[in-house]
């Protein structure tokens, strides 16, 4: 996955959830060469350091649109 594609996904998810969670941040990591990605969300200013306010989702890059609808949006309500 290219850096630009990761940034686009991060910005898309942050924008999508920003109305309900104004301090949310998104980070996308590539886990392997088969297309598995990890999408992490942080929603308070210290969660990057302490991991208390974070949630991550793992999926194949091709399943990304489906994971948004079936797991990410329902989780953040």
For the stretch 44-65, pLDDT in tens is 765 555 556 789 999 999 999 9
Structure tokens, 30:
């590539």
**Which residue segment(s) compose the domain that 29 sits in?**
3-76
SS (H, E, C) 34-59: CCEEEEEEECCCCHHHHCCCEEEEEE
Strand partners, 25: 42
Instruction: Give me the residues of the chain with pLDDT under 70, please.
Output: 45-52
Q: Structurally, how many domains does the chain consist of?
A: 1
Residue-level pLDDT at 50: 59
Residue-level pLDDT at 63: 95
| Alpha-carbon 68 to chain mean position | 9
Residue-level pLDDT at 12: 94
Q: Is pTM beyond 0.95 here?
A: no
* Contact status, residue 57 vs residue 71, Cβ threshold 8 Å: yes
Q: What is the sign of the dihedral through the CA atoms of 52, 24, 75 and 2?
A: negative
């Amino acid at each position: 996955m290219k850096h630009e594609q990761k940034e686009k996904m991060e910005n898309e998810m942050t924008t999508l959830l920003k109305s309900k969670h104004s301090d949310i941040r998104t980070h996308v990591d590539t886990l392997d060469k088969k297309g598995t990605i990890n999408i992490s969300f942080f929603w308070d200013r210290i969660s990057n350091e302490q991991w208390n306010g974070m949630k991550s989702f793992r999926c194949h890059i091709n399943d990304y649109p489906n994971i948004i609808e079936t797991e990410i949006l329902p989780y953040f309500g």
